Amino acid sequence: MVNCNDTIQLPDIRVNNRAVMNGKQGTKSVTWRSAMVGVAVSIVEYLARLQAHARNRHAIQMLDNNMLKDIGLTRADIDNELSKPFWTGLPPRG
């Protein structure tokens, strides 16, 4: 027996998961729950990036002068970077 609720395909009309789509593209309404989940995920991703950025700043602060010389930085470069607010210099979202 075929379950018609899963997928019905006709030449110009497709029905998937109870959303009717005419032609090539269709729109499915966004519920407030899915919108809130999207916002929550964005906030968690942003906080994770802030934490990773803080972790990297702390790690580079712990390097000694010889290690900094190996990567082409000086202690003054590090002090200049650490004097900036923590939220500056975040990598772009992506």
Angle (CA) 76-79-81 rounded to 5° is 110
At residue 45, the pLDDT reads 92
Q: Where are the domains of the chain?
A: 51-86
Taking residues 51-80, report their average pLDDT.
Answer: 88
Q: How does DSSP classify residue 74?
A: -
pTM metric for this prediction: 0.53
From the centroid of its chain, how far is CA 76? 32
Task: Decide which of 94 and 32 is more confident.
Answer: 32
The sign of the CA dihedral 76, 79, 84, 87 is positive
At residue 1, the pLDDT reads 46
